[in-house]
Each structure stands twice: as C-alpha cells, then as structure tokens.
Amino acid sequence: MPQPDFDALQQELKELALRVDAIEQRVGIAPRVAAAPPGEIAGAPQTDALAATAGAFPLFGRALLGIAGAYLLRALTESGSVPASLGAGLGTLYALAWLAWAARTPAEHKLETTLHSLTSALVLAPLVWEATVRMGALTPWAAALVLLIFIASGLKLSWRKALLIPATITTVTGCGTAAALMVATENVVPFAAVLIGAAALVEAAACFEHWLGERWLTASLADGSVLLATWLVTNPRGLPEGYAPIPAGALLALVGALVAVYLTSTIVRTLLRGFRFTGFETAQCGAALLIAVNAALRMSEAVPALAPGIGVFALACAAACYAVSFLLLERRESGRNFYTYSTFGLLLAIAATWVLLPADALPAAWSLLAAACVWAGRKRNRATLQWHGIIYLAPALVFSTAWTGPLSESARIGVQGFGAAAALCAYVLAGRAEGRNFDAVRTALGGAAVWECAGLVAAVLSSAYHGSLGADAPHAYCAVIRTGTIAAGALALAAGASRWARWEWSRLVIPLMLAGGYRLLMPDAHQGSRTAFAISMVLYGGTLMMLPSLLKRV
C-alpha cells in the first residue's frame, strides 16, 4: 500500500491558507491571528520580563558609578589633594549635574528618572553632612545655603515637565538633611531658615497647582523648627548647653516669615486664583497663627511690646477676614471660602481681645462684639453674622459668671448686669426676620438673655439676703433663691409666650426647667438644710404643676 506524501499535503495546506488570507484582505475581513505554539505562549512573558530586567541593569550600574565618583572626590578631599571648601563646591555641582540629568530624562522613563534623582540625593546629603559636621569645610549658614539651592534647583528643573519624582526626592532630601543638621550642629536658626525657605518654594509652586502633596512635609518641618526655636529661647532653665545663641530678633524673623509664607499663599490661592480652601490651608494657617501668638506671649516678659503688637496684628487680620467674607465673598455665602474666612475672623477677634484687654473688660468687649454682629446680621439679613453674635456672647456670659477675679460683690453684680443687658440687647436686635436660621438664632439669644437675667436676679436677691440677715446667714437659702429664680423664669416665659405669641419663649421653658432640676438634685440636696431643700422642692414642684396650663395657650 503506497505511503501518503505528507510533504506535498503540507505544501497544499500552506497554499490554501495563503489563498484564504488573500480573499479575506480583498473583501475587507481582518485575517485571524495564527495561534502560537504552546511553547511560545508560555515563553513570551518570561522573555519580556527578562528583557525588562536586563534593560534596568545599565541604569543601576550608572547610578553606582555616579556614587563611586562622589566617593572618589571625597577621598581626594580627605587626602588633601583638593581643598575641603573646593571639594564641597565640586561635590555640590556634581550632585546638581545628576539632578539636571534626571530632569532631562523623558517623563515616561520613570525608573531612570528615579535612579538619577536618588543618585543626586545620595551624593549631596552625605557630602553636606560630612563637610559641616566632621570636616568643618562648611559653616552652618553655608550648608543651609547649599541645601536651599539644591531644593530650589530640584523644583526648578522639574517645573517644565511637572516631574513629581525629582521634585519630591530633592525636597525630602534637602529638608531631612536640614532637620538632621539642626540637631547635630545645635544651631537652629540657619536650618530653620532653610525649612521655611523650602516651605515658601513649595507654596509658590502650589499657587500654580504643582506638588500639592509636598506641602504637608515642608509645613510640618517649618512649624516644628519655629516651635523648637521658641522653646529654646523662652525655656525657664535657659538655652541648653552647646546650642548656638538665638537672638530675639532672629526668632521674631522666623515667626514672621512662617506667618507671611502661609498667609500669602492662602490669599493668592483662594482670592487671586479662585481655588477653594483645602484642609491643609485651613489647618496650616491656624497653626501658623497659633505659633505666632504663642511665641509673642512667651517672649512678652523680655519684650513687653510684643503682646500688644501681636494683639493688634490679630485684630487687623480679623477685620480683613470679615471684610473679605462679607464684601468680596458675600454673593457666594454657601461657599467654603466664605465660611472659612469668616470663621478665621471670629477666632482672631476673640484672640485679639484676649491678648489686648484685661480680664475685667473681656465680657464687655465680647458682648459689644455680639451686639454688633447681631445688628449687622439683621441689617444685611445674614444669619451667619447673627450666629457669630451668639458665639461672641457665649464666652462673655460664661466669663462674667465664672470669673473669680479681685472684684467686690457689687462690682461682680455690675459685670453680670452688663452681661444681662448685652444679652437682652442682642436678642432685641435679632428682630423677627423669617427663616429657619433666624428662628434658631432668636431662640439661642433668648436663652442666653434669660439665663443671664436669672443669674443677675439671683445674685441681687442673695446679696440682699446676706445684707439684711448678715454674712453668717445660712447659705442653704441662697440655693433656694437660685432655684426659685429659675422656676419663676420658666413661669414668666410660659406666660409671656401665651400672651404675646412668642413661640421661642415656649421652647426655652423645658431647658430652663431641666437646669432647675439639676440644681435641685445636686447643689440644693447637699446644702445640709432639710428645710431649705423642702422649700426648693415645693417651688420646683409647684412650677411643674402650673406650666401645662400656661403652655396650652401657646
């Protein structure tokens, strides 16, 4: 039996496949991809991975050669063949050359860009450390200048292509080396200046939406360096041994630079560029202002003019924040920038008055601010300002009641009377504007006015009680007076709400009675007089019985 001709059959199959491919191309049908043999399918990815790995070998080798060049320069410097200062300068230029190489690398070659940037960092950081700490070839200020130039160069070279890797590596390397040298050299001012300078460079880039993620690093290091300098200067035990002196002027310059950097950046981003406040900007602006206030107050013993100066500055910033909120951003009241600027204005105004005024005058100042905000809110129909009035009024009421300064009883009653008058004035100024926000404002202001008036009445009656019966009269009946005043206030609110249709008064009855119940169970029950406690229970229980009939008419 003749054997089949397999070679001829294979040739015919190839010719048939070619004809089919030609027909498919002529009619516009894409030819099928020929299936690769199983061996090729399994081996292709392995071949690609090996090729990629082999392609990375020259990059790592190039980086090692770069580091070897830095070691060679160090050996020449240590042997005396190259002066130490010249060796430091050549090493800096060498590191910058690698950084420039990284910036010129195409953006898609991320591994090559990373290795060149790391080579630059691994050359510069040990170089500056050795030249400053061990060789003494660089003074702290010279080392600080080199680090700042390195950071600025990395940001500048990465700017055109918006390269994140070189910018991040240079910023982290420069700031980290500066922080380490600050501790190693025990010289704070030069390297704190580097960290604030790096923060300024990063903030300048952030104004154009570059490298926003690096802001947290530079801000935290800049804040920490200023806090460290403040502690070293104001430490009660004096400057620790070995640390370089920190003049008061240098510390003030650092504090001022920190505040200026972040206030300027925030103003440019939110007002000139139109970006929304970020969590970073809100937190960092608050932190910078707190650091400035803390430094000024701690240094005010040595420089008395600092506390008033920082108070005036905070007051000016508060006025500026309010002006920006209600003159520039008023049309977008629901926006985050409006609320952030107005909240900063509120907090800065409270801080400024706290720093500038004596404790006796604080309730009056805050009450006046509350009345002004409530009036302005009614005038401009802005619930935000009226809520600010409530916030100003809260510390005024608490402070006028709880402060135990060197005041006589009559003077303390006068302070509480002023607080009651301010609360009533704020409630009246709130008006009867319609809207849910205004309803809540009037309820809150009415509650503050009622509580302050009740405290004033109780204080006057207690003073009259001791004035008529003597200072040795039992104090248990003063508790009865306070509980009775609260009960009478609740009845007056319920009756007034039903007579004049003041629904917000009826809402205050239950909270006031809860406060009376707390007084009955806690202070009154522990006064030691059963008779006084029985009178308090009669007053409170009778009020509970009378209230339902009054509230039904509302």
More confident residue, 35 or 487: 487
pLDDT-based confidence at residue 111 (cuts at 50, 70, 90):
confident
Whole-angstrom Cα distance, residue 52 to residue 59?
12
Please compute Rg for the chain using Cα positions: 38
Q: Is the dihedral of CA 462, 466, 471, 473 positive or negative?
A: negative
**What's the pLDDT score for residue 476?**
83
- Write the pLDDT tens digit of every residue in 359-396: 777 877 888 888 888 888 878 777 788 888 888 888 87
At 135, is the secondary structure helix, strand, or coil?
A: coil
Mean pLDDT of the chain: 79
Distances (CA, A) of 381 to 176, 373, 374, 378: 52, 11, 10, 5
**Does position 230 have pLDDT exceeding 90, yes or no?**
yes
Q: Span 104-116, mean pLDDT?
A: 70
**Does position 194 have pLDDT exceeding 90, yes or no?**
yes
Q: Which residues of 142-175 are buried (b: 16+ CB within 10 A; e: fewer)?
A: bbbbbbbebbbbbbbbbeeeebbbbbbbbbbbbb
Q: Span 101-115, mean pLDDT?
A: 70
Phi then psi for 416, rounded to 5 degrees?
-70, -35
Distances (CA, A) of 69 to 65, 168, 317, 353: 6, 24, 53, 61
Residues 6+ away with beta carbon under 8 Å from 103? 157, 158, 160, 161, 163, 166
Residue given tokens 């390297």 in the structure block: 191
- Write the pLDDT tens digit of every residue in 132-165: 888 888 899 999 999 999 999 888 887 877 778 8
Cβ atoms within 10 A of the Cβ of 32, count?
9
Among residues 404, 395, 386, which one has the least CA distance to residue 362? 395
**What's the pLDDT score for residue 41?**
44
**What's the pLDDT score for residue 10?**
62
More confident residue, 420 or 310: 310
Q: Calculate the dihedral angle through the C-alpha atoms of 114, 120, 123, 128, rounding to the nearest 10 degrees.
A: -130
- Write the pLDDT tens digit of every residue in 310-359: 899 999 999 999 999 888 876 654 578 888 999 999 999 999 999 898 87
Tokens of 492: 């007056």
Predicted model pTM: 0.71
Lowest-confidence segment of 70-84, 302-316, 323-337 by average pLDDT: 70-84
Lowest-confidence segment of 168-172, 424-428, 477-481 by average pLDDT: 424-428
**What's the pLDDT score for residue 26?**
59
Among residues 271, 285, 288, 250, which one has the least CA distance to residue 332? 271
- Looking at the chain, how many residues does it have? 554
pLDDT-based confidence at residue 497 (cuts at 50, 70, 90):
confident
**Does position 285 have pLDDT exceeding 60, yes or no?**
yes
The burial class, CB within 10 Å (0-12 / 13-18 / 19+), for 387 is buried
Tokens of 106: 């195409």
Distances (CA, A) of 18 to 10, 11, 37, 475: 13, 11, 19, 114
Residues 6+ away with beta carbon under 8 Å from 528? 476
